[in-house]
Structure 1
Amino acid sequence: MQINSALDNILTPTAIALGNFDGIHRGHLEVIKPVLDLADAGISKTVVTFDPHPQQYFTGQQRQLLTTYPERAAILSQLGIHQIILLPFDRELVKLSPQEFVDRILVQQLNAKFISVGEDFRFGNQRAGNATDLVTLAADAGIQTRIASLATAGDLRISSSRIRAALLAADLAATRELLGRYYSIVGTVVSGQQIGRSIGFPTANLQYLPEKFLPCQGVYCVRVDTTAAKQLPGVMNIGKRPTVNGINTTVEVHLLDWDGDLYGQQLTVYLHHFLRSEQKFADLNALTSQIQADCETARIFFQT
């Protein structure tokens, strides 16, 4: 899997799924699937997205991502995508008219032969072009375009905004339905304050990318992939650790009935069930008792 922002280093010709794809949720998969279904072995199956996210460009505020770019690469590679192209979302791109976007980006730089977009796709200066316009403009350049219908869950459209709201409400069932998979957090294990180890519950302190969107603070039942093993059950805490006067938000994972050295390893943590909100305890003894209860609850959860 290649992630390219330099357009002179890409694989061409391309079949493109075009959009933002934050989360790679079930709606996004409907846009990506037509590219995956192409039988032409001479075309590079490609996801084209924008960096930074257009909302971040216009607001000037860091946008927290459901899937960071390395996470997207891992998911898309498993699906069968060959490369991700990050179009620099800058003043030059923003000024392009819909016609110029097709001519300069899709034809000249990407050598696109097939394009798939969602029916709500907009492009060009002032978002002047829509999906139907893209079909017409691309056809003039000999490019076939497929418009994917909006996917729904219940009566509402599946969207990244709905997933964020579900994560902030600790509704992991809704999150999984919208994503089509468990929400995950990827991080590298770094040294912490060793408080967990001192009370008999050693934790792996995860250093995650700062743009990663975190769900509501609290304690979760999780499964964890490590370098050596996959799907180990555990308990994760996201929060500021008020009992020990913590200041910064941390993500810490305790693996159930497991012992070993995880320092420096990359872990992927899958959120299965929300146990409780973070709270401040009177002392470490009270905290230890609650962690023990959380671990027992997690064992029962994973056994059922």
Structure 2
Amino acid sequence: MEIIHDVSSFHSTNRTIVTIGTFDGVHVGHQKILERLISDAKKQGKKSVLLTFFPHPRMVLQKDMKIELINTIDEKALLLQNMGLDYLIIHPFSKEFSRLTALDFVRDILVNQLKTSKLVIGYDHHFGKNREGNIDQLREYSPLYDFDIEEISAQDIDNVSISSTKIRKALHEGNLKTANRFLGYHFTINGIVVNGKQLGGKIGFPTANINVEEPYKLIPKTGVYVVRSLIQGVFVNGMMNIGYRPTVDGKHQTIEVHFFDFNQDLYDQKLTIELLYFLREEQKFDSVEDLIVQLKKDKESSFQFLENNL
């Protein structure tokens, strides 16, 4: 997959099959669109193109709101690459770009720049200035500019429509099972291992402290999770605490992972942590001794989950 960071840098003499959108989460519904896109492109001997935007439009148009995204831009790119996409175009979103009318967007971007022969989009898709563009306008423009349209209907799981918003809500509620089911993969946190206060090692549970660099990355509900990480080509299981360590600190949120049967130096390494299961809420204990007792229980519960589910 080739990544292009401005739509004006994309050049093709052949026509393409395109989809557009932010695709936050690259969830099961998104995957349906992308599978259709990639399949059609291969059948027709054309290239598959996803036009997405960064910063996320809401970061630009709603600056006063805290924006949380399921994926960082790098996480999203990796997910898309694994699906077999040919081109990922990450176009810089700006207020100026947001003022493009639906007609300008179709004519200048989709037709003239991307050479679109077919547009594959999800249901209820809107685009252009004030989100004025919709499926009806696309159907109006398609014969004029000689491109086809395929609209993918809403994808449901147990009659609940999948959306990035619902996945974010599930993660905030600690409902990891639903979030992972809607995503179609394990939610991940990527970050650099940094120095901590070494408290975990002193009580027999050394941890890797994860620093997430992207301020917009969604951090799930505080609590203890069963996790795993691919380290030097091998999956290493562990348990992770997201929270404020109320028993020993209580001031600053941290993300700490205790890996089972593992003692390598991980400082300054970037790790991808897969969240497998929400174990329990974060608690404040009366003493460090009580905390150690609970951590041992958490470890045993983690082993039971891993034995039964992996």
TM-score normalised by the chain length of structure 1: 0.93
- Distance verdict in 2 for CA 1:206–1:31, change over 3 Å: same
- Distance verdict in 2 for CA 1:106–1:126, change over 3 Å: same
Alignment of 1:27-46 (within 5 A): 27-37=29-39, 38-39=41-42, 43-46=46-49
Query: Structure 1 residue aligned with 2:206, among 182, 202, 225?
Result: 202
Q: Is the 8 A contact 2:11 2:113 kept in 1?
A: no
Amino acid at match of 2:95: R
Q: Is the 8 A contact 2:6 2:92 kept in 1?
A: no
Q: Is the 8 A contact 2:54 2:93 kept in 1?
A: yes
Query: Structure 1 residue aligned with 2:56, among 53, 57, 78?
Result: 53
Alpha-carbon distance in 2 for matches of 1:255, 1:216: 20
Q: Is the 8 A contact 1:102 1:138 kept in 2?
A: no
Q: Is the 8 A contact 1:25 1:178 kept in 2?
A: yes
Aligned to 2:7: 7
Amino acid at match of 2:224: V
Q: Confirm or deny that 1:217 pairs with 2:219.
A: no
Aligned to 1:280: 284
Q: Is the 8 A contact 1:139 1:145 kept in 2?
A: no
Amino acid at match of 1:75: L
Query: CA offset at residue 42 of structure 1?
Result: 6.0
CA deviations 1:214-272 (Å, max 9, x no partner) are 1110001112112x133321100001111222422211111112221112222211111
Aligned to 1:162: 166
Query: CA offset at residue 40 of structure 1?
Result: 5.8
Query: Structure 2 residue aligned with 1:233, among 231, 237, 246?
Result: 237
Aligned to 2:91: 87
Alignment of 1:1-304 (within 5 A): 1-10=1-10, 12=12, 13=14, 14-37=16-39, 38-39=41-42, 43-60=46-63, 61-208=65-212, 209-226=214-231, 228-304=232-308
TM-score normalised by the chain length of structure 2: 0.91
Amino acid at match of 1:211: Y
- Distance verdict in 2 for CA 1:107–1:133, change over 3 Å: same
Alpha-carbon distance in 2 for matches of 1:159, 1:223: 25
Amino acid at match of 1:296: E
Q: Structure 1: where are the runs of 5+ without partners?
A: none
Q: Is the 8 A contact 1:5 1:87 kept in 2?
A: yes
More deviation, 118-127/279-288: 279-288
- Distance verdict in 2 for CA 1:172–1:186, change over 3 Å: same
Alpha-carbon distance in 2 for matches of 1:58, 1:156: 29
Amino acid at match of 2:53: F
Q: How many residues align?
A: 303
Give the share of equivalent positions with the same residue, in percent. 36
Q: Structure 2: where are the runs of 5+ without partners?
A: none
Alpha-carbon distance in 2 for matches of 1:117, 1:144: 11
Amino acid at match of 2:268: G
Q: Stretches of 4+ moved more than 6 A in 1?
A: none
Alpha-carbon distance in 2 for matches of 1:270, 1:11: 37
Question: RMSD of the TM alignment (CA)?
Answer: 1.8
